[in-house]
Amino acid sequence: MPKAKAPFSPESAHVNLMRALTALAPARIVGKADACDVQARTDHIRAVYHVAIRYLEQLVQDTTDHLPGRIDCGKADLILWDGST
């Protein structure tokens, strides 16, 4: 029997975001940056971006899940994403 999925909590999503960001400290660049420094910084930015997008996806999904049935969730989803950029 499959395990029941825990209900979504915006608070727990926020805690998970903070934990993930804390674990993603950027490497320090000492002196002039070289190709390895630039690649490490690029990897860091990409990782932070993915963590932030996952958090936003969870919040947008939670918001649309709580909309009344007569509202177009697709349009609401676009409005929420547009508002975040």
- pTM score, whole prediction: 0.77
- What are the pLDDT digits (tens) for 22-81? 999 999 999 999 999 999 999 999 999 999 999 998 998 888 888 887 777 788 888 888
What's residue 70's pLDDT?
Answer: 77
Q: Is 11 helix (H, G, I), strand (E, B) or coil?
A: helix
How many whole angstroms separate alpha carbon 21 and alpha carbon 41? 14
Per the listing, tokens 């990409």 go with: 46
Phi, psi of 79, deg, nearest 5? -65, -45
Assign 5 a pLDDT band (cuts: 50, 70, 90). Answer: low
